[in-house]
Structure 1
Amino acid sequence: MRLWSVIGAGVAGLTVATELVLRGEKVQIFDPAGPPGPHGCSWWAGGMLAPWCEYENAEEPVLRLGQQAIGWWADKVDVQRRGTLVVAARRDLPDLRRFARRTEGFTEVGPEIAALEPDLPSFAQGLFFEDEAHLDPRQALKALFTALRAQGVAFHRRTAPEGLQDVIDCRGLAARDHLTNLRGVKGEMLVIRCPGVTLTRPVRLLHPRIPLYIVPRGDGIYMLGATMIESEDRGRITARSMLELLSAAYALNPAFGEAEVLETGVDLRPAFPDNLPRIRRRGGTIFANGLYRHGYLLAPALAQGVADLALNETHSELVDEDSA
């Protein structure tokens, strides 16, 4: 039996390792930064499994491949299948109609909003994507990592040594030493606590400057995100971004004005020019990268494509044919 060496313990590396183990392969993981934690981009994600919403400004593969992610994750971690609610202030209703034209899989809602989310009293129109879901990224990463260790996968908190065979590189932006057209896209987010507001599903507020999504984490805790800035500055969140995120949350429900800010997060999402993930083979190494803002949504398809290439020489649509 071959021993596959996966480099990187973020969402890409752990899903690839999980898929290989599911297919009966032996795997080890290398990551000098350690187990999943704040050092990784995927730690700061929203965890929305929302292919129909993302299709509004993404390519068709995001919609099609993303639909497979809900079942993949639900077999392994806790997934909340409560859909996504998209709303807009009265003055921004043209944006809601534009959003609807660019996607599918929704029901138009009006008075139903009060039944779906009673703590959104100010919105008379919206779109409800019933089949979407969400998960807690941190719990999902920990669950995959724990399951892999329980199945005998060795984890090495160090750089992978030279000369390994059957390597799968999932280092994200660090892989630019080989993937020169990879870029970083800055994302900023907040974690807040507001027991005075109860939301049970992700809510997206359309806004001309900074569309907001808010994802419930339970116990009155919410993730607010996320900016998309074409910048590779990994510094702290900017005052402008924090003000706009909090202002948008306040627009959802004024009670968010009393929220406690628990965390701020900034990291760089790895992306190729078309913002779609790619699988590339260079010599004895397979590179799996470029998840952009679709980490949890497209990681299962990326992992399955890697396993198909590694084990069966089958080329999924994510494989870069020029390098495989």
Structure 2
Amino acid sequence: MISIAGAGVSGLACAYELAKRGTEIQVYELGSAPSDNPCSWFAGGMLAPWCEGETAEPEVVRLGIGALAWWRQITEVTERGTLVVAQGRDRAELARFARRTENHVMLSANEVAQKEPALAGRFQQGLFFGEEAHINPRQALVDLTAAVQALGVVIHYDTPAPDQVDVDCRGLAAKLPGLRPVRGEMAVIESHEVEITRTIRFLHPRIPLYLVPRSKGIYMIGATMIEGSSSGPITVRSMLELLGAAFALHPALGEAAVLETGVGLRPSFDDNMPRLTQIGATTHVNGFYRHGFLLAPAMAKRLCAQLLQDKTHANQSEFEPC
């Protein structure tokens, strides 16, 4: 039997991969429901490894390539790619993004309009990453919880983990040396005047924005990555920046209703890469930065290779896709 502390996306992914291999799993979670994991609950849900390559290490791209196929087993995946755009005065930002990433095509203004008619006439160029996708992270977390329970995993909600566990996936609560919080802020808006069907990354030298469709007329927007440990409500400045960038993407979003705001503290090491860290008898799976849904599947398989000597993955380096 293997015990796991934490039922966020990382802990559940580890439980799923271990249980698939016939291991009995017990998960301990202080919260009472999947929604009590703010890092996972407030995530964007973008399965966008090539876009992340713009600022992340190449290992993030390699780790994340297999995430789309993994999540297809669990939940609904919207496979419509990622569209990256910038205003005319920020065209240099688009060119820089293109140089730093791979697996994209450059679109003309007409091609941008064909992909997203709501953006017709607004952007002269765009980058399209056709093999990327997105999920609704909240539904995905609920579906992953159901999937692990169907494999016989027992999740003990409202229950502190024992002093000694085999796997620790508690994020910042694990208090690992070198782990720091990175604050992410988001808003959920509703607009029936603008219909967008895929993830949009709107480049701006100061306030890059991503917009992810959740359901008809509902969008999640996010942009901020703030070094700091405060988990308080979203700040006025951040809210103004988020909504201002959304308005610049499409003026009709200025009439959108703000349904929800949220803040999550993302556990991150100095290189913003996830790690398997052995301390005593406990293996810590931590440091996902803003890549939890993208990288959890590969790191869970890596954990299996370490704990179970899984020959399928034992010869792979830590950051190769599993």
TM over 0.5: yes
The reply to whether residue 199 of structure 1 matches residue 199 of structure 2 is no
Q: What whole-Å deviation, never above 9, does each CA across 1:131-167 have from its counterpart, x for those lacking one?
A: 0010000000000101222222111120122355xx1
- Which stretches in structure 2 are left out of the alignment for 5+ residues? none
**Residue of structure 1 in register with 2:162 after alignment:** 161
- Partners of 2:154 and 2:208 lie apart in 1 by 41
Query: What code does the residue aligned with 1:175 have?
Result: A
Query: What code does the residue aligned with 1:212 have?
Result: L
The reply to whether residue 256 of structure 1 matches residue 253 of structure 2 is yes
The change in CA–CA distance for 1:263 and 1:38 in structure 2 (over 3 A counts) is: farther
- Partners of 1:208 and 1:10 lie apart in 2 by 33
Q: 1:94 aligns with which of 92, 108, 111?
A: 92
Report sequence identity in percent: 55
Match of 2:231, SS state, is coil
The reply to whether residue 301 of structure 1 matches residue 302 of structure 2 is no
Match of 1:222, SS state, is strand
Runs of 4+ in 1 over 3 A off after TM superposition: 313-319
- Partners of 1:77 and 1:304 lie apart in 2 by 18
Report if the CA contact (8 A) 1:183-1:270 is conserved: yes
- Number of residue equivalences: 313
The reply to whether residue 284 of structure 1 matches residue 281 of structure 2 is yes
Match of 1:229, SS state, is strand
**Residue of structure 2 in register with 1:269 after alignment:** 266
Give the Å deviation of 1:316. Answer: 5.2
- Partners of 1:187 and 1:40 lie apart in 2 by 10
**Residue of structure 1 in register with 2:182 after alignment:** 185
Q: What whole-Å deviation, never above 9, does each CA across 1:37-76 have from its counterpart, x for those lacking one?
A: 0443111000000011000001011111110111111122
Q: What whole-Å deviation, never above 9, does each CA across 1:169-216 have from its counterpart, x for those lacking one?
A: 00001011xx11100001000000111111110000001111000000
Give the Å deviation of 1:222. Answer: 0.2
**Residue of structure 2 in register with 1:322 after alignment:** none
Query: What code does the residue aligned with 1:247 have?
Result: G
- Partners of 1:151 and 1:301 lie apart in 2 by 19
**Residue of structure 1 in register with 2:52 after alignment:** 54
- Partners of 1:188 and 1:316 lie apart in 2 by 35
**Residue of structure 1 in register with 2:5 after alignment:** 7
- Which stretches in structure 1 are left out of the alignment for 5+ residues? 320-324
- Partners of 2:21 and 2:209 lie apart in 1 by 39
RMSD of equivalent CA atoms:
1.3
For normalisation by structure 2, the TM-score amounts to 0.94
